[in-house]
Structure 1
């Protein structure tokens, strides 16, 4: 990297940090994990009610951190205009797991009358069978059956509460994305990485080591992404390997589910988290231990989880540029009460 470019990036980072810190500190004074107000029936560290306003229950969780000033600060990440879409092609997951249906497209010739030649198409997708956002009504706390901010499973079945339409109506998801390229760090340090269809648990220590190796600093309100190698594995696997690894095997690499991970995620106050693997966290978690990240992120804090995003081209560009932060936009499907959605995500440099 040239000295001029590095100086420019340092200046941009300083301005962005000032803007982010100034507004975030003024608008959202988070209590320490152990000092968070107790929510009846929920574990210590729950943020139910934290974002409520004027007597109305909040339905967007930590996306509240993406205020205009935070987004403006994130926009300073754009310097060259290069951009990458992070959605995996919808047809890519050849053998969806967990009993989900495959993607299907029907191309329709609309020239039945012979007057006009034009085409339509119809598609079927299960919103959990490819690159996706999990909404705040996708996964409940398994012991209580409750979703973010107290929504019960019975209510979730019959109402639009906590649906993805709330994200769309606040302008989508726009902010500073940060890639934690764990795979590149691991292979640089250790050689071959663990199989993405094994339950390798990526620890906080490994994430911190990756960030230090990259020279990347996290900020409150970031959209944090972890590259584990799942998409790379799938893109290079045979059909039989894919079927075995995705449809016949419910095991996948991801972030470790334990108390240290939960506290680390809480302390960083991410707007959202993303992975290139099936469930973001190593799957399946040990629900009985109480540290399932889905239950903490989606349920206790209202933090959206992105899964199976294609971070391969992004990784290569970050490595080329020597920086792992960027401006991120995401436009989920505007479906009332939506439970999952392709992200429609673009990283801009």
Structure 2
């Protein structure tokens, strides 16, 4: 077994060198899904070790794909200088689900202690209760209890490993964003879209149809962004309907968890994925079938998941511009060991 493990490690090291070399050019070179060396105890398709360097375990994941050459190519998306921020207002989720505390702000008059007129404020934020990035220590593989690159749940509770600070220290998340406006495609070609607060599964075949309809192609290292209608629903719903659909309801629209989805995501080699819905994937996932997207994206590949991003103005701008690609910059909160963060994301055209 030791010999087999050493052979797998050697293959991973060689693959990492090949991948790094490929990224200097126009496209990264990945092995096929079925050709990835097996990682002991993990399903075929796990890429642990590929981004390790100098004997140190990687904590950044597929953000490694955002190399200077990839970012430089993405910068060519900037043509008019128009820009759209993609963060929902922090106070927007009135009734957070999963027993999470809502956002609060305290405004502080600093005149009494300072002797001159000034203001401070203090914020409470649960980083999962609005627009967010999930870090690589947010969600474990439920059967094994492991996070990206083998971090155990016990280790995760006692260390900063896999925290969001790693992305910040690397320079944030910067690259080419691609909006897949599934909602616009669905309503234009099929009629009324499914309820965002139902467990509707969006198949990747429909993402492909949307990309063709938009005239959009993807490339390795892109940041995939899917609009499904959750934010629009929330923006227009009265308080009682919002509460019923969020705090009192634990189901939401999202990408379908399936073998076909996993293969499709792997073959496209996205640096990160984003949605406007609660969990990116249709929630709750089916943990017992092996295709939970959180387990594959965060755990097996180290791919950041963005959730509840406000894509409404972005959709309008893309339609006006006649294109669905743009330069994307995101500056997460620089918190050591951070588990989630507002994205601080801006799309620039």
* TM-score with structure 2 setting the length: 0.93
1:149 is displaced (CA, Å) by 0.1
Contact between 1:254 and 1:277, CA under 8 Å: does it hold in 2? yes
Deviations 1:135-180 (A, max 9, x none): 0000000000000000000000000000000000000000000000
Contact between 2:23 and 2:65, CA under 8 Å: does it hold in 1? no
Unmatched 5+ residue regions in structure 1? 1-20
Contact between 1:88 and 1:309, CA under 8 Å: does it hold in 2? yes
1:114 is displaced (CA, Å) by 7.0
Alignment match, 1:201: 201
Alignment match, 2:64: 64
The equivalences for 1:269-284 within 5 A come to 269-284=269-284
1:31 is displaced (CA, Å) by 1.2
1:116 is displaced (CA, Å) by 0.3
Are residues 1:36 and 2:36 paired? yes
Secondary structure at the aligned position of 1:224 is classed as strand
CA–CA separation in structure 1 for the residues paired with 2:217 and 2:27: 21
1:29 is displaced (CA, Å) by 2.8
Moved runs in structure 1, 4+ residues, more than 3 A? 21-28
Alignment match, 2:249: 249
Alignment match, 1:347: 347
| Coordinate RMSD, CA, aligned | 1.2
Contact between 1:24 and 1:220, CA under 8 Å: does it hold in 2? no
Distance 1:34 1:119, change over 3 A: same
Secondary structure at the aligned position of 1:247 is classed as coil
Distance 1:113 1:171, change over 3 A: closer
Alignment match, 1:97: 97
Alignment match, 2:179: 179
Alignment match, 1:77: 77
Q: Report how many aligned residue pairs link the two structures.
A: 329
Deviations 1:2-23 (A, max 9, x none): xxxxxxxxxxxxxxxxxxx974
* TM-score with structure 1 setting the length: 0.93
1:26 is displaced (CA, Å) by 7.8
CA–CA separation in structure 1 for the residues paired with 2:197 and 2:169: 37
Alignment match, 1:329: 329
Secondary structure at the aligned position of 1:179 is classed as strand
Distance 1:56 1:113, change over 3 A: closer
Alignment match, 2:49: 49
Secondary structure at the aligned position of 1:184 is classed as helix
Contact between 2:183 and 2:228, CA under 8 Å: does it hold in 1? yes
Contact between 1:24 and 1:65, CA under 8 Å: does it hold in 2? no
Deviations 1:287-326 (A, max 9, x none): 1000000000000000000000000000000001110000
Are residues 1:148 and 2:148 paired? yes
Unmatched 5+ residue regions in structure 2? 1-20
